[in-house]
Structure 1
Amino acid sequence: MRFADYAKIYVTAGRGGDGSAHFRREKYVPKGGPDGGDGGKGGDVILVGNEQLNTILDLRYRKYVKAGNGENGSKSKSSGAAGEDELLEVPLGTVVFDADTKERLGEITDHEEKLVIAKGGKGGLGNWHFRSSTNQTPQHAQEGKPGEERAVELELKLIADVGLVGFPNAGKSTLLSALSHAKPKIADYPFTTLEPNLGVVKFEDFRSFVMADIPGIIEEAHEGKGLGIQFLRHIERNNVLLFMVSVMTDIKYEYEALLSELRSYRKDLLDKPRILAITKMDLKQGFELEEELHFDDEIPVIPISSATGHGVDELREKLWEYIQHGKEKEET
């Protein structure tokens, strides 16, 4: 299934049913009082989390979504049935906004979690509610209220333990392929990866974590250039950031440029634990860096070659260590 991380849809909740203006009329009760029932509530439009999904592609082909209307009330104070809710299954990590006001309506993070994005209208009251000492035969009943109607934008932010951050051709897809059974498209040209890929990295002792290959960032991506913000948002949901820079580039410059893009997009992204992998070390004689690298943030630096496996096991263990440390901090 093709990955999709954005959809705009128009949702309309159900209208409430009308109350009934009915009077009790039976053989031995020719002039009974009002007994009109209430209208049923309109159905809601509800998002439901599904851990088996990883795309919101289906919603791209379903632009208009409408819940069921409530039924009208009837005699004998019988209330109308509520309208049927419209349930939309979405992947975990889906965030929804009002398309017009940009108000954040909520986020789905757990399996079977529900979020109402359009509320059904209230049913109208039947005429028996309006009887009084001065009006024993009220002739009117309330009409049902219309349901909420709005355009909403859905954004999917990948939930992963580790997010790969780097410029195009840094070797992110190759590493994901080497560490997991994921099979991302790999070629020697920029922007091979046009959509995020997820892979499960497993250890022989049954430990595992989820890694996300996020498409390459370019400078000024935070302004929407290149793939830009379209994929920067996926970094928000990753617990550990693995920066990847090719040994064949100016390592310090590229690392600082990546930090700058994340800082410009959202400063708090730099609060996440991070590791720097120097990739493609098989292109260097003896798999060694020409100089020892030091950075102000004291980030761990691990030279690797996904092609030969050099440094990959060390990197995998360091990632596991950082993931566990992050979880311990969250618990405390």
Structure 2
Amino acid sequence: MVCGSRVLLRKYGNFIDNLRFCVKGGAGGMGLPRLGGQGGKGGDVWFIARHGVTLKKIKDKYPLKRFSAKPGGNSSIRALKGERGQDCEIDVPVGISVTNDNGRYIGDLNKIGDRILVAGGGPGGHFKTHFLPSKGQARIVRLDLKLIADVGLVGFPNAGKSSLLGSVSHAKPQVAEYAFTTVRPQLGKIMFADYKQISVADLPGLIEGAHMNKGMGHKFLKHIERTKQLLFVVDISGFQLASKTPFRTAFEAIQLLTKELELYKEELLTKPALLAVNKMDLPNSEEKWRELVKQLENPKDFFHLLPEEMIPESTIRFKYILPVSAVTGEGIEELKHCIRKSLQEQADLENEEFHKEKLQSLRTAETPQKRRESRFQSR
């Protein structure tokens, strides 16, 4: 297998979201036939999730290189069993998905300290192999960054997501009066008086056809897979990407966003979702707000207003729908409260389900004898 040393990457500006390079486990050590000695196993190559690491730092630190573990030690008269080769450990960011060059899944690194074996060392030579060692595993692997955040902002370009992120958090994203200001993911933290922190990700804006990888397409959609909840952000006045594209009302924008997520990966619609209707400081916003609320109460009653290709198979029932203005601050504090409340409700539900599953597994593991003893004691 030929392992190239060239590092391939895609990036938005200086933001690198994937790397592709070669890893190789160490070869095993030679055995010693006349004394039956066994060679040491070659070292393994591991990815370990660490704080403060980025793919760009990895690329800068290891330019044009591959990662190889050390070979195992040969068997000798002084040490019949050769020493094990030293492992190669590579620090990577939290929120990494690892696949091989053919796209086959290897594993995820979701929290600090998680480890993945990406290339195993070869066994040392021994009796069964005529004391000849084996080479270590060599493969090309791919690291894909999928942001992990509590909440991911979902909206079309110029819906005001960046301004909203700046209003609710300590982030300072680039903001301008034109679409596609956000060309790389932005992360912010909502800070509460009791020191509770909630992470929010503002991701590059979707466009129609994102599920087919138009615009930033999959670059956007893959990041949203690793957020706990979704916060839809729409402009109360509607949205038009360009003069040649159709104008979409706020209701149409919501359904089109839903359709894009559904076509990319239907499971995304199972995430808890909130809706922030932005730019309520604009003229006639109150009238449009009342109309939107009516439409969202029974969305299917208004599907006849949409082109057939825009109609989603499923509708999203938002946990909270709030009118806000990132400019005046209207509704921002209530939005922060609802985000926290929604996340806590999700955590409570997951905790309850975990304990139910644990109790069920304990009951399943009980032997008939233990059940008889338990019934006897309860008497």
Please, what TM-score do these two structures have when normalized by structure 2?
A: 0.76
Q: Which residue does the alignment assign to 1:94?
A: 96
1:285 CA drift (Å): 5.1
Alignment of 1:33-112 (within 5 A): 34-35=34-35, 37-53=37-53, 55-60=54-59, 61-100=63-102, 102-112=103-113
Q: Is the CA contact 1:11–1:65 (under 8 Å) kept in the aligned structure 2? A: yes
Change (3 A) 1:117 1:290: closer
Alignment of 1:270-285 (within 5 A): 270-284=269-283
1:159 CA drift (Å): 1.0
Once residues 4 and 189 of structure 1 are traced to their aligned partners in structure 2, the CA distance between those partners, rounded to angstroms, is: 24
Q: Which residue does the alignment assign to 1:204?
A: 193
Deviations 1:92-144 (A, max 9, x none): 211101112x211111112112110110100112xxx58xxxxxxxxx94221
Alignment of 1:155-234 (within 5 A): 155-234=144-223
Q: Is the CA contact 1:12–1:67 (under 8 Å) kept in the aligned structure 2? A: yes
Q: Is the CA contact 1:37–1:76 (under 8 Å) kept in the aligned structure 2? A: no
Once residues 285 and 248 of structure 1 are traced to their aligned partners in structure 2, the CA distance between those partners, rounded to angstroms, is: 9
1:183 CA drift (Å): 1.7
Once residues 289 and 211 of structure 2 are traced to their aligned partners in structure 1, the CA distance between those partners, rounded to angstroms, is: 32
Change (3 A) 1:288 1:51: farther
1:59 CA drift (Å): 3.7
1:51 CA drift (Å): 3.1
1:230 CA drift (Å): 1.3
1:284 CA drift (Å): 2.7
Q: Which residue does the alignment assign to 2:326?
A: 306
Deviations 1:229-277 (A, max 9, x none): 0121111111110000112211011111100110011101000111111
1:194 CA drift (Å): 1.4
1:223 CA drift (Å): 0.9
Q: Is the CA contact 2:50–2:113 (under 8 Å) kept in the aligned structure 1? A: yes
Once residues 44 and 78 of structure 1 are traced to their aligned partners in structure 2, the CA distance between those partners, rounded to angstroms, is: 22
Q: Is the CA contact 1:9–1:59 (under 8 Å) kept in the aligned structure 2? A: no
SS in 2 for 1:47: strand
| RMSD of aligned Cα (Å) | 2.0
Of 18, 37, 46, 1:6 maps to 18
SS in 2 for 1:87: strand
Aligned length: 306
Once residues 17 and 208 of structure 1 are traced to their aligned partners in structure 2, the CA distance between those partners, rounded to angstroms, is: 51
Once residues 287 and 331 of structure 2 are traced to their aligned partners in structure 1, the CA distance between those partners, rounded to angstroms, is: 11
Change (3 A) 1:324 1:66: same
Q: Is the CA contact 1:51–1:110 (under 8 Å) kept in the aligned structure 2? A: no
Change (3 A) 1:52 1:58: closer
1:81 CA drift (Å): 2.0
Please, what TM-score do these two structures have when normalized by structure 1?
A: 0.87
Q: Which residue does the alignment assign to 2:251?
A: 252
1:251 partner amino acid: A
Q: Which residue does the alignment assign to 1:268?
A: 267
2:111 partner amino acid: D
1:88 CA drift (Å): 1.2
Q: Is the CA contact 2:211–2:264 (under 8 Å) kept in the aligned structure 1? A: yes
Q: Which residue does the alignment assign to 2:246?
A: none
4+ aligned runs moved over 6 Å, structure 1 = none
Q: Is the CA contact 2:47–2:89 (under 8 Å) kept in the aligned structure 1? A: yes
Alignment of 1:310-321 (within 5 A): 310-321=330-341
1:89 partner amino acid: D
Identity, % of aligned pairs? Answer: 39
Q: Which residue does the alignment assign to 1:113?
A: 114
Change (3 A) 1:286 1:195: closer
Q: Which residue does the alignment assign to 2:373?
A: none
Deviations 1:195-215 (A, max 9, x none): 111111011232221111111
Once residues 95 and 64 of structure 2 are traced to their aligned partners in structure 1, the CA distance between those partners, rounded to angstroms, is: 20
Change (3 A) 1:13 1:236: same
1:217 partner amino acid: L
Change (3 A) 1:189 1:16: same
Once residues 63 and 274 of structure 1 are traced to their aligned partners in structure 2, the CA distance between those partners, rounded to angstroms, is: 43
Once residues 290 and 5 of structure 1 are traced to their aligned partners in structure 2, the CA distance between those partners, rounded to angstroms, is: 38
Once residues 196 and 316 of structure 1 are traced to their aligned partners in structure 2, the CA distance between those partners, rounded to angstroms, is: 20
Once residues 5 and 195 of structure 1 are traced to their aligned partners in structure 2, the CA distance between those partners, rounded to angstroms, is: 10
Change (3 A) 1:141 1:76: farther
